Amino acid sequence: MNQQITGAEALMRSLEHQGVTTLFGYPGGSIMPTFDALYHHKDTLNHILVRHEQGATHAAQGFARVSGEVGVCLVTSGPGATNTLTGIADAMIDSTPIVVISGQTPTSMLGTDAFQEVDLVSVTQPITKWSYQIRSAKDVALAVARAFFLAKNGRPGPVVLDFTKNAQTEMVDYEPMTVDFVRSYDTNPDPKEGALEAAAALINQAERPLVLVGQGVELGDAQTELKSLVEKADLPCGCTLLGLSALPTEHPLNMGMLGMHGNLAPNVKTNECDVLIAVGMRFDDRVTGNTATYAKQAKVIHLDIDPSEFNKNIAVDVPVLGNCKRTLKALTELVNEAKHTTWIESFAEYDKVEQARVIEPEIHPTSGPLNMGEVVRAVSEATNNEAILVTDVGQNQMMAARYFNYSKNRSIVTSGGLGTMGFGMPAAIGATFGRPDRTVCVFMGDGGFQMNIQELGTIMEQQAPVKMILMNNNYLGNVRQWQAMFFGRRYSFTPMMNPDYMQIASAYNIPARRVAEREELQDAIREMLATDGPFILEACVIEEGNVMPMTPPGGTVDKMMLEC
C-alpha cells in the first residue's frame, strides 16, 4: 500500500500530473496547508507571487492565451476568492482556460459565516464552466483531473475548485487520475449530417463571400486550416478583436478588423456580401452594431464548437457544429477552387479612404503631440511585427489592436468580452511566462495602468521582461471620447491627475523613459527593446485623441463615422 499523503500534497501531485509548471497565487489562512505543500515542490511548480488576486487571474489568462495551456491560480478563501471574480468572468466571456483553486473554511464550519467564508461555488456558477467544492481529500485527484479536462476541452473556460481546509490536511491514498470523458458534455461534437455539404454549396455559389475570423480559430489551433480554406476558395476575411492574429495581417485576403473601431472595408462589406462565413466567433454587439440591419442580404454559415452560439444573436442559415480544426479541413475538401477578384478588389476603395482620412494622419502626423496610433505602429515595426501584443482596455486597446501588425499565431491578448481595465499589466506578466521565447509588449492608458499598478511589484521580483508602453493622455480617454461625441463634451470625471510615473518606475527599480517628442520616439523604443527585463516607456500622447473610424453603439456597420 502507498504511504498516505495529505490532500494538499495530493493537489501538488495532481497538478504535476496535469503537466502544470507555473501557477500564479497569493497565500492566506485557508490555503496555508496547500502553500506548505507547495514549499516542497518549488523545483517543479514555479509559483509566481502576485500582489493582488485579480492580478493572479489575469496573469493566468495571459499565460493561457499565449501558450494554449491551462493557467492556474492559487488563492485563499473569502476576499482572496472574491478578488478573482473579475478574472474568472473575463475568462468565461473570452473562453480562456484557467483553473482557480481557492481555500475554503473547513467543511464543519461551512454555512456558519466563519472567518473569510464566502459561498464561492454559488457565486461563481454563472461565470464558470464548472465550479466544485472539494470537501474531502479523497476527491482531490478526480476533481483536479475533471477541472483540467473541462477547462481546456470543448469551448475552453474557467473552472473553480473550492478547496476546504480539512480536505487539505486529511490523509489519503493517492493515485493519479486522468479524465478524458464526461458523458454529459461532448467536447468534440459532430456537425449535423449534410451541414458541411450545405455550407460548401453556399460557398461554391457565392459571388461575394466574406469570412469572419474569430478566436475559435486560435483556440482550435486551426490557423493553417483556415488559410487553406480561404486560399482555395479565394475568400476575403475580416478578423474580430480576439481573432486578429489567427491570420497574418499581411495576408492578401486579410481585410482587417471587424467591429465598432475596426477597419472600414470589412465592416462595409459585411452588408454587401452574399455569403457570410463566421468561424469561431459569436456575433458580439461590438461586432454587429444594430443586428436589425446586420448582413440582412447574406446567407450566414456559422462554424462553432458551442451549439448555443447558433442563432443567439444572428439568424444562421447553415450551422456547422464542431471544432473548427476539423470542420474547416472538411470544408476545404468540399469547396471548389475559385477566384473572386472583382469582389476582393472592391475592398480597396474603402481601404484607400480609411488610409487617407484616418490611418495616415494617425500614424504619420507631422506636427502636434504624439498620437497613440503612431506609438503603436512604431513599436510594432521595431519588433518586426513579431511581438505578442497585450493591451489594457479603452482607447489604448483599440489603437493597439488597429495599428499593431501580427505575423504569428496567438499574438494578441486583450480583454474583449468583459472589457476589464487593469487587465493589461498582469496579463502581460502571464504572457512572459507562457512564451518566454517571445517579446511581450503591453499597451496601457494612464487609467488602466493604475488599476493593477501593484503588479509592478511582481514584475520587479520576477524580472518579468514586460515591455510596458504607457500612453498617457491624462484622461480616461475612451469615456472622454464618448462624452465628447454623445454627451455634449461634458467631461464628467474623466480628466485625471497623474503621479510621476518615472518616480514610480524608479521605486520599483524598473528602467523607464518618458518621451514627448516625435524625434525621440524611435530611440526610446529601441532602448526599451534593447533593455533586458522589464521597461516602462511613458509616451505623452495627445490629450483629446479619438479612435476612429467608429460605428456608434446601435449603429449600422456600413455607416461608420470617419471623423467626429
Partner 1 sequence: MKTLYTLIVHSENIAGLLNQVTAVFTRRQINIESLNVSASSIKGIHKYTITAWCTEDEIKKVVKQIERKVDVLQANYFTDAEIYQHEIALYKLATPGFQANPVASKIIRRHAARVVEVNPTFCIVEKNGMSEEITSLYEELQQFGIVLQFVRSGRVAISTSCFERLNEYLAFREEKYNKEKKDEKYD
Give the residue with the Cβ less far from partner 1, 41 or 312: 312
Cell numbers standing for residue 434 = 507562457
Nearest distance from residue 183's CB to partner 1, in Å? 5
Of 239, 326, 249, nearest in space to 277 by CA: 239
Shortest reach from residue 424's CB to partner 1, in Å: 29
Residue 109 grid coordinates:
464550519
The residue count of the chain comes to 564
Residue 160 or 382: the one with the smaller Cβ distance to partner 1 is: 160
Q: How far is the CB of 90 from partner 1 (least distance, A)?
A: 18
Stretch of 20-28, 123-131, 219-227, 387-395 contacting partner 1, by CB under 8 A: 123-131
Give the nearest distance from C-beta 150 to partner 1 in angstroms.
6
Stretch that binds partner 1, among 136-144, 184-192, 244-252, 521-529 (CB under 8 A): 184-192
User: Number of residues in contact with partner 1, rule: CB under 8 A?
Assistant: 21
Closest to partner 1 by CB, 249 or 313: 313
| Nearest to partner 1 of 121, 540 (CB atom) | 121
Grid coordinates given for 14: 495532481
Quick one: 138 or 514, whose CB is closer to partner 1? Answer: 138
Q: Least CB distance from residue 387 to partner 1, whole Å?
A: 35
Residue 507: count other Cβ atoms within 10 Å of its Cβ: 11
Nearer to partner 1, 312 or 408 (CB): 312
Between 140-152 and 7-17, two packed helices, what is the crossing angle to 10 degrees? 30
> What residue ranges in 196-334 does DSSP mark as E strands?
209-213, 237-239, 254-257, 275-279, 299-304, 318-321
Beta carbons of 144 and 14 less than 8 angstroms apart: yes
Cα separation values, 365 from 20, 371, 443, 472, 498, Å: 47, 8, 20, 18, 26
76: cell is 485563499
Exactly one of 130, 350, 423, 501 binds partner 1 (CB under 8 A); that residue is 130
Among 57, 31, 32, smallest CA distance to 159 is for 57
Looking at the Cβ atoms of 150 and 344, the one nearer to partner 1 is 150
Q: Which of 32, 116, 138, 186 binds partner 1 (CB under 8 A)?
A: 186
| Least distance between partner 1 and beta carbon 242 (Å) | 20
On whether the CB atoms of residues 314 and 284 are closer than 8 A, the answer is: no
Would you state the cell numbers that stand for residue 501, as one nine-digit string?
Answer: 510615473
Grid cell locating 53: 488576486
Task: Return the closest-CA partner of residue 557 out of 320, 259, 301.
Answer: 259
Among 121, 334, 479, 542, binds partner 1 (CB under 8 A): 121
Residue 184 found at the interface with partner 1 (CB under 8 A): yes
Which segment (11-19, 183-191, 351-359, 424-432) binds partner 1 by CB under 8 A?
Answer: 183-191
Kindly report the CA angle at 202 between 200 and 206, in degrees rounded to 5?
115
Q: How far is the CB of 130 from partner 1 (least distance, A)?
A: 5
Residues 275-314, interacting with partner 1 (CB under 8 A): 306-308, 310-312
Q: What is the CA radius of gyration of the chain?
A: 24
Least spacing, CB of residue 185 vs partner 1, in Å: 4
Member of 30, 34, 131, 458 binding partner 1 (CB under 8 A): 131
Least distance (Å) from partner 1 to the CB of residue 103? 19
When asked if residue 182 is in the footprint of partner 1 (CB under 8 A), the reply is yes
Residue number with CB closer to partner 1 (93 or 358): 93
Cell representation of residue 3: 504511504
Helix ranges (DSSP H) in 388-517? 395-403, 424-434, 446-451, 456-462, 477-486, 501-507
Instruction: Report, in Å, the least distance between residue 109 CB and partner 1.
Output: 18
Measured distance between the N- and C-terminal CA atoms of the chain, rounded to whole angstroms: 74
Nearer to partner 1, 308 or 342 (CB): 308
* 295: CB partners within 8 A, 6+ apart: 270, 271, 273, 276, 314, 557
Q: Please, which of residues 142-181 interact with partner 1 by CB under 8 A?
A: 150, 181
| Cell 511581438 belongs to residue | 387
Q: Give least dist CB 157 to partner 1, A.
A: 9
Residue 490 sits in the site that holds partner 1 (CB under 8 A): no
CB closer to partner 1 out of 136 and 454: 136
Positions touching partner 1 (CB under 8 A) are: 121-122, 125-126, 129-131, 150, 181-186, 188, 306-308, 310-312
